Amino acid sequence: MKLVRFNEGRLGVVEGDQILDLTSALGHDLQEWPPVAATRLIAQLSETPTRLDALLAGCPRVPLASAKLLTPVPWPNKVIAFPVNYHDHGREMQANYRANHQGFFLKPNSSLSGAGEPIVLPNVPNREVHHECELGIIIGKGGRDIPREKWREHVFGYSCLLDMVVRGREERVFRKAYDTFCPVGPWIATADEVGDPTNLDMKLWVNDEVRQQANTRDLVLDIPGMIEMASAVMTLYPGDVIASGTPAGVGPVKAGDLVRIRIERVGEMTVRVEQGLGGGTEVFAAPYVPDIKKQS
Ligand code: MN
C-alpha cells in the first residue's frame, strides 16, 4: 500500500494513477491542529493492518497527477537522522567518524515538506545548500530498547527523503533545520510492499545529471542497527521518521533546479528548488569553502 497526504491535508491510498481519498471515510477533520491524523492512522494500522480494507471500496477517486502531494507525516514525534552512514560519503567529507560510533541528530518536524512542494533556499549568499539522497524509514509500532532482531515489527514503511543542508562547520542541526529542508515522499510505501529494504538501489539527479547512486546494502549502520540505536536512547513512536544517511555525491542546488530522487520499490519524486527572501542570519555571514573530494 502507498499512503499519501495531498491537497489540503487529505489522506489516501495510491492505486495505479489514482488516489483513493480516505478523508471522509476516516472522519478526518482537515482543519485539525495539530495535524496528527496521519500519525494516528499509522498507529492504528500498526495495530490493525486491515483497518482500511472495508473503507477503500467506497472511496472517491482523484487522479494522482492532479494532486499536490504533501509530506506523508507532518507531525511525527521526531525526525531522527544518521550522519556519515556510507563510507564513500565519509571519505568525500573527510570525516574521521561513522554513524555507528557517532550516533544520530534530530531534524525539526517543521523542516518536513512533500513531493509537491518546493525546497525554499534561505538567503545565505555566502553558502552552498546541498542535497543528500536518503532512504526514509517510517516507524509503525513504537517501543524502547528494541533489539536488532525485532526491527521488522517496528517499521511501517519507507519513503524517499532529501536531507537538505547549508554546508559549513556550524551546528549541524542549525544548518539542517530550515523549513522545506526535509522533503519526504512521494508517499509511504508500506513494509510489506517494499519487501527487503537492505538491498535497494537509490539514485538522485539534479536536472538530468546523476549526482548520487547507491544501494542500502552499503549502509555502515544498517536498518536493524539504526532502530536498535535510536530506541536505546528514545522511545520510538508510530510515525517517527528516520533519515538513514547519504552516500557520496552530495552537491549544491540553486533556484530553478529540479531534484529527482528514486528508490527502488519505494517511489520517485521530483522537487523544485526556489530562492526564498528570508533565512539570512549572521551565523552564515562568513563564507565556507567545502573540502569535499568528488568521487567517481
Ligand atoms: Mn543526511
Query: Tens digit of pLDDT for each residue in 105-117?
Result: 999 999 999 999 9
Cβ-based burial of 118 (10 A; exposed 0-12, middle 13-18, buried ≥19) = middle
Handedness of CA 206, 207, 213, 216 (dihedral sign): positive
- 134 alpha carbon – ligand 1 mean position (Å): 7
**Beta-carbon contacts of residue 19 (< 8 Å; ≥ 6 apart):** 4, 6, 12, 13, 61, 62, 63, 64, 67
- What was the pLDDT predicted at 182? 98
Contact 168, 149 (CB under 8 A): no
Structure letter (DSSP) for residue 292: P
Please state the rounded mean pLDDT for residues 135-162.
Answer: 98
Please state the rounded mean pLDDT for residues 18-30.
Answer: 96
Closest CA to 225 of 156, 148, 138: 148
- What was the pLDDT predicted at 89? 85
> Looking at 29-115, which runs of residues are DSSP E strands?
61-63, 69-70, 79-81, 105-107, 112-113
User: In a 3-state reduction of DSSP, which class is residue 144?
Assistant: coil
- 7 alpha carbon – ligand 1 mean position (Å): 28
**Beta-carbon contacts of residue 54 (< 8 Å; ≥ 6 apart):** none
The model carries a pTM of: 0.96
Q: What is the mean pLDDT of the chain?
A: 95
- What was the pLDDT predicted at 87? 83
Taking only the tens place, the pLDDT of each residue in 42-53 is: 999 999 998 898
> Do the strands 133-139 and 241-243 form a parallel or antiparallel pair, or are they unpaired?
antiparallel
Please state the rounded mean pLDDT for residues 230-250.
Answer: 96
Rounded Cα–Cα distance for residues 229 and 246 (Å): 18
- What was the pLDDT predicted at 135? 98
- What was the pLDDT predicted at 274? 98
- 141 alpha carbon – ligand 1 mean position (Å): 24
- What was the pLDDT predicted at 136? 98
pLDDT band at 290 (very low <50, low <70, confident <90, very high): low
pLDDT at residue 103 tops 70: yes
Beta bridge partners of 3: 13, 188
- 22 alpha carbon – ligand 1 mean position (Å): 32
Task: Take residue 278 and report the three cell numbers written for it.
Answer: 528570508
pLDDT band at 221 (very low <50, low <70, confident <90, very high): very high
Rounded Cα–Cα distance for residues 102 and 85 (Å): 10
- 144 alpha carbon – ligand 1 mean position (Å): 24
User: In a 3-state reduction of DSSP, which class is residue 45?
Assistant: helix
The one-letter amino acid code at 91 reads R
pLDDT band at 96 (very low <50, low <70, confident <90, very high): confident
